């Protein structure tokens, strides 16, 4: 059985005037996540990919039980090791967090307490979940920092978050996340705020830790390049729903949902010959319809027909087993060769 | 794209909608442009604190304007002098003909409250305006010099700001008392004294706001486009720096009214006892607090409620004008 | 002759401290001697990570920051020495597109006002009517509806706002546009729209671009020539294809190997050159080669003491590395690990 299996997860924010949502229609409910299902196996790296507003970060927060209680309704199921994370009591999920479930955030500075030295923040976790105190806790904290490549850990333990560089802070956060050898690590855009050379360091570090500890990793990112190098299984999200799910080789070789297909066509590739034109997806993310009325992507889709507007399209496997696509007009080989270049080089 | 022939009218309609959506160039999110001020006003209208504050202020202003005509009796005529004996502790409380009772000279308290509102509002508004205008001018000079004046500008700014710092360091009431002592006892003195205290506050606020806006990307963009410095200050920096100043102006109306009352209370206010003013009334009533507490309560409640009204509205405006909350 | 030529440009920001009047206590060496040439009608891409000074350099060209030393030759005129008013007047020929599409638009001005203000400042168009006609034409060219005129920046999506930013530059009929991270704030599917738009406009108007970005893939896609910056100076410059085919500077190699490619086959095959540690502070740059504190090929001699100059190694290919030829020939060994050990094993900090 899968370590984590998410089934039709939905998150709705009750409309309160002045939210950050698109348009100025106040007091309308916002469906941030609208039926997301996926599974994460033990030791597997699963990617949730999508652009801003696709619901990937909200999914992570919902799984961690970190969404505010007020004004948010969460539906569906998310079974972690047989227990439903969504209906679990506050205390129970708090015990899971940090020990079996851990999360790394995009902005390392704001997820560290600015007025507490790094050392205390790390040992706190060790005390809480592993019962370590005093000198043994300090030693363990130092060795954790050392393992994530922070030089001179004994000195760094005494420093405050603002005294560390961005890459260093993210390492410290990773050290805190893996302190209790969690079974599932959720990483929400862990490298987006970092420079590419630092990003490469952090990604290698994550890979290494996951390999060593057998931790399952749920990687949330907008960067298909990161996904290509890291994930075993990929879920592409659009407007709060998974539109395509496949193994990474299958997905990148044969993107079948028009959205995934379009995304890959619109990214400039370092290794593409110069002058290779980009094929952008038209419109903007605000151009969408509710999933209940059809395919949310239809307004931006080059392949849409009338059928796209009759209810939520089902997941099908038009190309290969285990390659699920939520589309009634998937991009199949004939179209691929006509309109777009092969992705592999 | 291609519509299937058997499509229902409803579907065709929806498809049309999507076609229109897809034509990016024709997309309209709102039919006409809505400026930020208008949007802020819209948010203000839906804010409870703003509505309550606005209602209180509206009522206060209304009383200030029409109060003298509404007053049932003359506020200065000592019509019931024979019924009040302050020395013996005999006062007259609320009754049918005098709703709020009589004051220590036998005048109708209710009429005095109604007429006094005008003086109170006048003191508040004028002193706030003195502070606002003087402070805004100083702040604008300082802010403009600092953002676009180069090295000499920064020096000018430093000198101005140190002077305002010194003013800020003095206790406001002490400053007001000194001003009042120099200028003599009059209503104008109170206004100037209370206004002077506000000058450094407004100056600092506007200058700080201008500095923040001056380093923003759109000011840089305006420079890059080649717009003249003076115009950048006037069309780019100034309009965006005003919101905190407007909020502060509303809030400082509350403080101005309270401070004017405090000055009157200390005996530095309007020397003419004939013209009722809430602060003066409060200061006179305190002597008789033991025997006639209500005489103090009416002006005190009036001052508190009005100040609260301005504070509520000010805070609501701060929220409405915050660009971070733009919906 | 090149349209735009930078000659030893330095921008040092004073670090000030003081109670009453500030004293200068040090400098941030944001840009420290950059020379490059941008040919008319071409795109020069400037790439580097945060803190390398690329944004400051772009602003220095427009004199939006003070140039400490060096010259900026534009069409034969040294902008660095131009009096302020003349600089203002020449700005309509050199325009800029900013990273943050919302932040770079005045929230209280409508689109017509934003676009016409610059025209008025340069006397383009006799009256507002004429300007409005021109604005309408440009709006159509950048793919915005004409009803945008009376609307305000916050009413548009991110991609549309960036189009407004581009239109603001275009209405002045510039020769050169400096694009500072023009797409990094946009979603992936929108990035491609804006990149394509920039390319179309270059084609139709013969524009010259200086594109500043951290994303090497974006820069490589649109640039003819690429300059790689590290801590305030150029470490390598080459035609786009040559740089990709044979990066010569160790930093370029590392940078290139770190850019993720959306292709599992490529990702699995390529060798990643991981760097040790973080970027040193530009307020206290290392002596000698600025990269020597992180360079996998750092040698005992010269690297820590002598600052390398850009030297020509091929057709239009310049590198600032003492040992570029030796690294290429394989005659010097790596002195630091570039594998996972670079990340997990720590070496004592030198700074």
d(CA B108, CA B42): 42
pLDDT beyond 90 at C35: yes
Q: Cα-flanking dihedrals φ and ψ of residue B300, to 5°?
A: -65, -45
d(CA A237, CA A291): 13
B24: contact with C, CB 8 A cutoff: yes
Chain C residues with CB under 8 Å of B43 CB are none
Buried b (16+ CB within 10 A) or exposed e, B176-197: bbebbeeeebebebbbbbbbbb
Task: Identify which of B147, B175, B293, B163 has the alpha carbon closest to the alpha carbon of residue B232.
Answer: B147
HSE at residue B20, side-chain half, CA atoms within 13 A, is 9
- In this structure, what CATH number is given to the domain that contains residue A114? 3.40.50.300
Across the range A196-221, mean pLDDT stands at 89
- One domain, residues A279 and A156: no
Chain B residues with CB under 8 Å of C168 CB are 221, 225
Buried b (16+ CB within 10 A) or exposed e, A288-297: bbebebbbbb
C102: contact with A, CB 8 A cutoff: no
Q: Cα-flanking dihedrals φ and ψ of residue A53, to 5°?
A: 85, 5
**Record: contact A287-B11, CB cut-off 8 A:** no
In a domain, A276, yes or no: yes
- One domain, residues A16 and A46: yes
User: How many residue pairs bridge chain B and chain C with CB atoms within 8 Å of each other?
Assistant: 101
DSSP-assigned beta bridge partners for residue A244: A236, A325
Across the range C310-331, mean pLDDT stands at 92
HSE at residue C344, side-chain half, CA atoms within 13 A, is 15
Across the range C208-226, mean pLDDT stands at 94
In a domain, A18, yes or no: yes
**Record: contact B4-A24, CB cut-off 8 A:** no
Q: Which of A107-111, A142-146, B8-12, C167-171 has the lowest mean pLDDT?
A: B8-12
d(CA C100, CA A176): 33
pLDDT beyond 80 at A271: yes
- At C278, list the tokens: 């973080």
- At A253, list the tokens: 């070789």
d(CA A69, CA B197): 46
Report the domain count for chain A.
Answer: 2
In a domain, A243, yes or no: no
Chain B residues with CB under 8 Å of A306 CB are 3-4, 7, 11-12, 15
Alpha-carbon distances, residue A142 vs A111, A133, B229, C121, C276 (angstroms): 20, 13, 54, 60, 19
Chain A residues with CB under 8 Å of B8 CB are none
Chain C residues with CB under 8 Å of A189 CB are none
Across the range C130-159, mean pLDDT stands at 91
Altogether, the residues listed in chain A come to a count of: 345
pLDDT at A324: 93
- One domain, residues A201 and A324: no
Tell me the pLDDT band of B26, cut-offs 50, 70 and 90: very low
How many C-beta neighbours within 10 Å does residue A201 have? 29
- One domain, residues A311 and A196: no
Strands C225-230 and C43-47: parallel
* Other chains touching A, judged by 3 or more CB pairs under 8 Å: B, C
pLDDT at B294: 87
Domain extents for chain C?
4-230, 246-344
**Which fold would CATH assign to domain C4-230?**
Rossmann fold (3.40.50)
Which tens digits make up the pLDDT trace of C75-107?
999 999 999 999 999 999 999 999 999 899 998
Q: In degrees, to the nearest 5, what angle opens at C-alpha B212 toward C-alphas B206 and B218?
A: 115
Can you say whether residue B102 is alpha, beta or left, with left for phi > 0 and alpha for psi between -120 and 50 degrees?
A: beta
- One domain, residues A190 and A104: yes
Q: In degrees, to the nearest 5, what angle opens at C-alpha A224 toward C-alphas A222 and A226?
A: 90
Task: Identify which of A235, A344, A240 has the alpha carbon closest to the alpha carbon of residue A297.
Answer: A240
pLDDT beyond 60 at C348: no
pLDDT at A345: 35
From A269's Cα to the closest Cα of chain C, the distance in A is: 5
d(CA A279, CA C75): 35
pLDDT beyond 70 at A19: no
DSSP-assigned beta bridge partners for residue C4: C38, C74
Chain B residues with CB under 8 Å of C91 CB are 224-226
Tell me the pLDDT band of B72, cut-offs 50, 70 and 90: confident
- One domain, residues A195 and A81: yes
**Which residue stretches of chain C are H helix?**
54-61, 84-90, 111-121, 128-141, 158-170, 188-205, 216-222, 240-245, 250-258, 264-269, 324-329, 341-344
**Record: contact C151-B326, CB cut-off 8 A:** no
| Mean pLDDT of all residues belonging to chain A | 86
pLDDT at B81: 81
**Record: contact B30-C150, CB cut-off 8 A:** no
Task: Identify which of B77, B142, B151 has the alpha carbon closest to the alpha carbon of residue B109.
Answer: B77
pLDDT beyond 60 at C61: yes
HSE at residue C118, side-chain half, CA atoms within 13 A, is 34
d(CA B103, CA B111): 11
Chain A residues with CB under 8 Å of B21 CB are 283, 287, 289, 299
Altogether, the residues listed in chain C come to a count of: 351
Task: Identify which of A52, A55, A62 has the alpha carbon closest to the alpha carbon of residue A6.
Answer: A62
Instruction: Return the top range by mean pLDDT from B83-87, C175-179, C342-346.
Output: C175-179
For C171, the closest chain B residue by CA position comes to: B225
d(CA B241, CA C176): 32
- One domain, residues A126 and A185: yes
d(CA A120, CA C187): 38
Q: Which of B303-312, C196-205, C248-257, C341-350 has the lowest mean pLDDT?
A: C341-350
Which of B21, B29, B39 has the highest number of chain A CBs within 10 A, making it the mutation to test binding with A?
B21
More confident site: B34 or C11: C11
Q: Cα-flanking dihedrals φ and ψ of residue B244, to 5°?
A: -65, -30
Chain A residues with CB under 8 Å of C157 CB are 22, 284-286
Among the partner-chain residues A18, A23, A306, the one whose CB lies closest to the CB of B29 is: A23
From B39's Cα to the closest Cα of chain C, the distance in A is: 11
pLDDT at A53: 84
Task: Identify which of B22, B24, B18 has the alpha carbon closest to the alpha carbon of residue C143.
Answer: B24
How many C-beta neighbours within 10 Å does residue B72 have? 11
Task: Identify which of A153, A144, A196 has the alpha carbon closest to the alpha carbon of residue A174.
Answer: A144
Residues of C with CB under 8 A from a CB of B: 20-21, 59, 62, 64, 88-89, 91-92, 95-96, 98-100, 103-111, 117-118, 121-122, 143-145, 147, 150-152, 154-156, 165, 168-169, 172
From A340's Cα to the closest Cα of chain C, the distance in A is: 15
Task: Identify which of B209, B197, B199 has the alpha carbon closest to the alpha carbon of residue B143.
Answer: B209
Domain ranges, residue A293: 254-339
Instruction: Return the top range by mean pLDDT from A297-311, C9-23, C161-175.
Output: C161-175
CB B301 within 8 A of CB B20: no
- One domain, residues A16 and A112: yes
Task: Identify which of A58, A65, A51 has the alpha carbon closest to the alpha carbon of residue A32.
Answer: A58
pLDDT at B323: 57
* Other chains touching C, judged by 3 or more CB pairs under 8 Å: A, B
- One domain, residues A208 and A271: no
Angle, helices B238-265/B187-214, rounded to nearest 10 degrees? 150
How many C-beta neighbours within 10 Å does residue B213 have? 21
d(CA C154, CA C108): 10
- One domain, residues A205 and A268: no
pLDDT at B30: 42
Task: Identify which of C74, C70, C77 has the alpha carbon closest to the alpha carbon of residue C32.
Answer: C70
pLDDT at C313: 92
DSSP string spanning B216-256?
SHHHHHHHHHT--HHHIIIIIIHHHHHHHHHHHHHHHHHHH
Across the range A170-183, mean pLDDT stands at 89
- One domain, residues A231 and A259: no
CB C225 within 8 A of CB C240: yes
Q: Cα-flanking dihedrals φ and ψ of residue C29, to 5°?
A: -85, 75
Alpha-carbon distances, residue B325 vs A16, B30, B36, B43, B317 (angstroms): 12, 19, 11, 10, 12
ipTM metric: 0.87
pLDDT at C232: 92
**Record: contact C150-B33, CB cut-off 8 A:** yes
pLDDT beyond 50 at A204: yes
Domain extents for chain B?
36-325
Q: Cα-flanking dihedrals φ and ψ of residue B63, to 5°?
A: -60, -40
From B39's Cα to the closest Cα of chain A, the distance in A is: 10
pLDDT at A52: 86
**Which residue stretches of chain B are H helix?**
9-22, 36-45, 48-70, 109-148, 150-169, 172-183, 187-214, 217-225, 229-231, 238-265, 278-285, 293-321
Which pTM was predicted? 0.85
- One domain, residues A145 and A114: yes
d(CA C169, CA B133): 37
Percent of chain C topping pLDDT 70: 97
Residues of B with CB under 8 A from a CB of A: 1-4, 7, 11-12, 14-15, 18, 21-22, 24, 27, 29-30, 39, 43, 46, 325, 327
Q: List all residues 6 or more positions away from A238 whose beta carbon is below 8 Å from its beta carbon.
A: A50, A54, A259, A296, A297
CB A229 within 8 A of CB A192: no
CB C219 within 8 A of CB C226: yes
pLDDT at C223: 94
Q: Burial of A128 by CB count in 10 Å (0-12 exposed, 13-18 middle, 19+ buried)? A: middle
pLDDT at B73: 86
Q: What is the CATH number of domain B36-325?
A: 1.10.3720.10
Q: List all residues 6 or more positions away from C312 whose beta carbon is below 8 Å from its beta carbon.
A: C318
**Record: contact A268-C195, CB cut-off 8 A:** yes
H and E: helices and strands count for chain A: 11, 11
Tell me the pLDDT band of B270, cut-offs 50, 70 and 90: low
d(CA A148, CA A164): 14
In a domain, A223, yes or no: yes
d(CA B43, CA B36): 10
**Record: contact A303-B1, CB cut-off 8 A:** yes
Which tens digits make up the pLDDT trace of B221-253?
999 999 998 899 988 899 888 888 988 898 888
pLDDT at A188: 93
**Record: contact A283-B3, CB cut-off 8 A:** no
**Record: contact C262-A228, CB cut-off 8 A:** yes
Task: Identify which of C339, C218, C267 has the alpha carbon closest to the alpha carbon of residue A47.
Answer: C267
CB A179 within 8 A of CB A97: no
| DSSP 8-state symbol, C37 | E
In the three-class reduction of DSSP (H, G, I as helix; E, B as strand; rest coil), residue C75 is classed as: coil
pLDDT at B281: 85
């Amino acid at each position: 059985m899968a370590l984590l299996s998410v089934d039709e997860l939905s998150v709705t924010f009750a409309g309160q005037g002045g939210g950050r949502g698109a348009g100025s229609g106040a007091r309308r409910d916002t469906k941030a996540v609208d039926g997301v299902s996926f599974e994460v196996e033990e030791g597997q790296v699963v990617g949730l990919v999508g652009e801003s507003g696709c619901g990937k970060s909200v999914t992570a927060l919902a799984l961690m039980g970190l969404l505010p209680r007020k004004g948010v309704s969460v539906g569906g199921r998310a079974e972690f090791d047989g227990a439903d994370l969504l209906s679990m009591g506050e205390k129970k999920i708090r015990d899971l967090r940090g020990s079996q479930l851990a999360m790394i955030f995009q902005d390392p500075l704001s997820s560290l307490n600015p007025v507490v030295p790094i050392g205390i923040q790390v040992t706190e976790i060790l005390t809480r979940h592993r019962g370590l105190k005093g000198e043994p806790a300090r030693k363990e904290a130092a060795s954790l920092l050392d393992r994530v490549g922070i030089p001179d850990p004994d000195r760094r333990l005494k420093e405050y978050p603002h005294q560390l560089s961005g890459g260093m802070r993210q390492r410290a956060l990773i050290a805190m996340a893996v302190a209790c050898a969690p079974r599932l690590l959720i990483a929400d855009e862990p490298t987006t705020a970092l420079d590419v050379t630092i990003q490469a360091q952090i990604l290698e570090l994550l890979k290494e830790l996951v390999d060593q500890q057998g931790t399952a990793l749920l990687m949330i990112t907008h960067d298909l390049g990161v996904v290509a190098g890291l994930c075993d299984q990929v879920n592409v999200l659009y407007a709060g729903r998974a539109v395509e799910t496949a193994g990474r080789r299958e997905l990148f070789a044969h993107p079948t949902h028009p959205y995934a297909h379009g995304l890959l066509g619109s990214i400039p590739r370092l290794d593409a010959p110069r002058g290779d034109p980009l094929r952008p997806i038209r419109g903007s993310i605000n151009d969408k319809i509710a999933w209940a009325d059809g395919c949310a992507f239809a307004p931006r889709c080059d392949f849409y027909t009338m059928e796209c507007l009759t209810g939520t399209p089902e997941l099908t496997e038009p190309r290969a087993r285990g390659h699920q696509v939520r589309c009634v007009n998937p991009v199949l080989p004939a179209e691929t060769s006509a309109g777009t270049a092969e992705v592999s080089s | 794209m291609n519509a299937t022939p058997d499509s229902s009218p409803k579907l065709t309609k929806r498809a049309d909608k999507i076609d229109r959506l897809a034509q990016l160039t024709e997309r309209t999110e709102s039919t006409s442009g809505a400026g930020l001020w208008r949007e802020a006003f819209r948010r203000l209208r839906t804010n409870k604190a703003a509505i309550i504050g606005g209602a209180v202020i509206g009522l206060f202003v209304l009383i200030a304007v029409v109060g003298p005509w509404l007053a049932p009796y003359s506020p200065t005529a000592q019509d019931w002098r024979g019924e009040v004996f302050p020395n013996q502790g005999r006062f007259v409380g609320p009754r049918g003909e005098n709703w709020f009772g009589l004051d220590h000279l036998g005048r109708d308290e209710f009429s005095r409250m109604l007429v006094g509102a005008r003086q109170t509002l006048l003191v508040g508004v004028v002193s706030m305006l003195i502070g606002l205008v003087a402070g805004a001018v100083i702040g604008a000079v300082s802010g403009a010099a600092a953002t676009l004046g180069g090295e000499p500008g920064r020096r000018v700014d430093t000198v101005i700001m140190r002077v305002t710092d010194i003013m800020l360091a003095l206790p406001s009431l002490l400053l007001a008392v000194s001003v009042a002592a120099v200028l003599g006892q009059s209503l104008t003195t109170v206004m100037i004294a209370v206004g002077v205290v506000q000058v450094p506050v407004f100056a600092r606020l506007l200058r700080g706001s201008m500095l923040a806006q001056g380093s923003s990307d759109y000011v840089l963009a305006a420079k890059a486009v080649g717009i003249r410095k003076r115009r950048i200050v006037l069309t780019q920096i100034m309009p965006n720096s005003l919101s905190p100043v407007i909020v502060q102006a509303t809030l400082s109306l509350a403080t101005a009214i309270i401070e004017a009352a405090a000055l009157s209370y200390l005996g530095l206010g309007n020397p003419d006892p004939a013209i009722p003013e809430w602060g003066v009334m409060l200061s006179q009533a305190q002597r008789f607090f033991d025997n006639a507490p209500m005489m103090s309560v009416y002006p005190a409640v009036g001052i508190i409620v009005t100040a609260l009204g301005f504070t509520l509205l000010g805070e609501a405006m701060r929220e409405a004008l915050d660009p971070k909350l733009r919906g | 002759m090149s349209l735009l030529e930078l000659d030893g440009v330095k921008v040092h920001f004073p670090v000030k401290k003081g109670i009453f009047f500030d004293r200068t206590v040090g400098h941030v060496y944001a840009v420290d001697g950059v020379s490059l040439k941008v040919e008319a009608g071409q795109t020069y891409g400037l790439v580097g990570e945060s803190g390398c000074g690329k944004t400051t350099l772009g602003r220095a060209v427009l004199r939006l920051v003070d140039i400490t030393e060096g010259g900026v030759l534009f069409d034969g005129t040294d902008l660095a020495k131009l009096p302020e008013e003349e600089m203002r007047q020449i700005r309509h020929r050199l325009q800029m597109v900013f990273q943050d599409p919302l932040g770079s638009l005045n929230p209280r001005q409508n689109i017509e006002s934003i676009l016409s203000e610059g025209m008025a400042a340069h006397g383009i168009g006799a009256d507002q009517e004429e300007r409005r006609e021109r604005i309408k034409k440009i709006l159509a060219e950048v793919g915005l509806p004409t009803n945008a005129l009376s609307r305000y920046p916050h009413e548009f999506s991110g991609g549309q706002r960036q189009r407004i930013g581009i239109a603001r530059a275009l209405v002045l009929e510039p020769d050169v546009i400096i694009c500072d991270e023009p797409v990094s704030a946009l979603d992936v599917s929108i990035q491609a729209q804006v990149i394509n738009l920039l390319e179309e406009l270059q084609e139709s108007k013969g524009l010259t671009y200086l594109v500043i970005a951290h994303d090497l893939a974006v820069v490589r896609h649109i640039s003819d020539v690429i300059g790689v910056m590290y801590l305030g100076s150029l470490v390598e410059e080459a035609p786009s294809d040559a740089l990709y085919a044979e990066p010569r500077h160790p930093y370029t190699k590392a940078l290139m190997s770190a850019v993720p490619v959306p292709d599992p086959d490529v990702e699995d095959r390529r060798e990643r050159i991981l760097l040790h540690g973080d970027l040193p502070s530009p307020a206290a740059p290392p002596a000698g080669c600025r990269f020597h504190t992180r360079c996998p090929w750092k040698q005992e001699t010269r690297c820590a003491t002598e600052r390398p100059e850009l030297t020509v190694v091929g057709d239009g290919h310049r590198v600032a590395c003492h040992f570029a030829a030796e690294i290429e020939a394989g005659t010097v060994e790596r002195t630091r690990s570039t594998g996972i050990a670079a990340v997990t094993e720590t070496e004592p900090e030198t700074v």
